[in-house]
Chain A
Amino acid sequence: MAVLEVLNARKAFGENEVLKDISFSVDKGEVVAVIGPSGSGKSTLLRCCTILERLDAGCIRYSEDTLVETSADGSALYADKTTMKRIRRRFGLVFQSFNLFPHLSVMDNLTEAPIHVAGVDKEAAKKKAVELLAKMGLSDKANAYPFELSGGQQQRVAIARAMALDPEILFFDEPTSALDPELTGEILKVMRELAQEHMTMVVVTHEMSFARNVADRVIFMDKGVIVEQGDPRDVIDHPENERTKLFLQKISEK
Chain B
Amino acid sequence: MDGFLAWLQDFGSLFGQLAEGFGTTVLIFLLTLVFALPLGMPLALGRMSKCVWIRKPVEILLLIVRGTPLMLQIIFVYFGPYFLFGIPLSGYRFPATIIAFSINYACYFAEIYRGGLESIPVGQHEAAQVLGFSKKQTFFRIVLPQVCKRILPPMSNEVITLIKDTALAQTVAVMELFRVANAAANARTSLMPIVLAGVFYLFGSFVITRVFNFAERKLGYYR
Interface residues of A (CB under 8 A from B): 50-52, 85, 88-89, 91-93, 95, 97, 99-103, 112-113, 116-118, 145-147, 161-162, 165
Given contacts A102-B146, A102-B223, A146-B222, contact A95 B132 (CB under 8 A): no
Which listed residue (B121, B123, B149, B221) contacts A145, Cβ 8 A? B221
Q: Which residues of B contact A100 (CB under 8 A)?
A: 127
Q: Complex Cα distance A52/B126, Å?
A: 7
The answer, yes or no, to whether B13 is at the interface (CB within 8 Å) is no
Q: Complex Cα distance A91/B130, Å?
A: 8
- The answer to whether A116 and B222 have CB atoms under 8 Å apart is no
Q: Complex Cα distance A19/B200, Å?
A: 67
Q: Which residues of B contact A145 (CB under 8 A)?
A: 221-223
- The answer to whether B132 and A117 have CB atoms under 8 Å apart is yes
Contact flags (1/0) for B125-143 with A, using CB distance below 8 Å? 0111111110001000110
The answer, yes or no, to whether B190 is at the interface (CB within 8 Å) is no
Least CB distance, A65 to chain B, in whole angstroms: 14
Q: Complex Cα distance A112/B133, Å?
A: 9
Which listed residue (A116, A118, A146) contacts B141, Cβ 8 A? A116
Most buried by A among B127, B145, B221, B223: B127
In the complex formed, the residue of A with least CB distance to B137 is A116
Least CB distance, A127 to chain B, in whole angstroms: 19
- The answer to whether B131 and A161 have CB atoms under 8 Å apart is yes
- The answer to whether A85 and B142 have CB atoms under 8 Å apart is no
Given contacts A116-B137, A147-B222, contact A99 B127 (CB under 8 A): yes
Given contacts A51-B130, A117-B132, A145-B222, 14 further A-B contacts (CB under 8 A): A50-B130, A89-B132, A95-B123, A101-B128, A102-B223, A103-B145, A103-B146, A112-B141, A113-B132, A116-B133, A118-B132, A147-B222, A161-B131, A165-B132
Least CB distance, B220 to chain A, in whole angstroms: 11
Given contacts A95-B126, A97-B123, A103-B145, contact A165 B222 (CB under 8 A): no
Q: Complex Cα distance A101/B223, Å?
A: 10
- The answer to whether B127 and A101 have CB atoms under 8 Å apart is yes
The answer, yes or no, to whether B124 is at the interface (CB within 8 Å) is yes
Which listed residue (B132, B141, B145, B149) contacts A88, Cβ 8 A? B132
- The answer to whether B130 and A52 have CB atoms under 8 Å apart is yes
In the complex formed, the residue of A with least CB distance to B127 is A99
- The answer to whether A147 and B133 have CB atoms under 8 Å apart is no
Which listed residue (A97, A103, A117) contacts B131, Cβ 8 A? A117
Query: Could you pull out 30 A-B pairs where Cβ atoms are within 8 angstroms?
Result: A51-B129, A52-B130, A88-B130, A88-B132, A89-B132, A92-B130, A95-B126, A97-B123, A99-B121, A99-B123, A99-B126, A99-B127, A100-B127, A101-B128, A101-B142, A102-B223, A103-B145, A113-B132, A113-B133, A116-B133, A116-B141, A117-B131, A117-B133, A117-B137, A145-B221, A145-B222, A146-B222, A147-B223, A161-B131, A165-B131
Which listed residue (A51, A95, A165) contacts B127, Cβ 8 A? A95
In the complex formed, the residue of B with least CB distance to A171 is B130
Least CB distance, B100 to chain A, in whole angstroms: 35
- The answer to whether B223 and A85 have CB atoms under 8 Å apart is no
Least CB distance, B123 to chain A, in whole angstroms: 4
Q: Complex Cα distance A200/B116, Å?
A: 38
- Sorted nearest first, the 7 A-B pairs with minimum C-beta distance are A99-B127, A113-B131, A99-B123, A147-B223, A117-B132, A88-B132, A145-B222
Least CB distance, A215 to chain B, in whole angstroms: 22
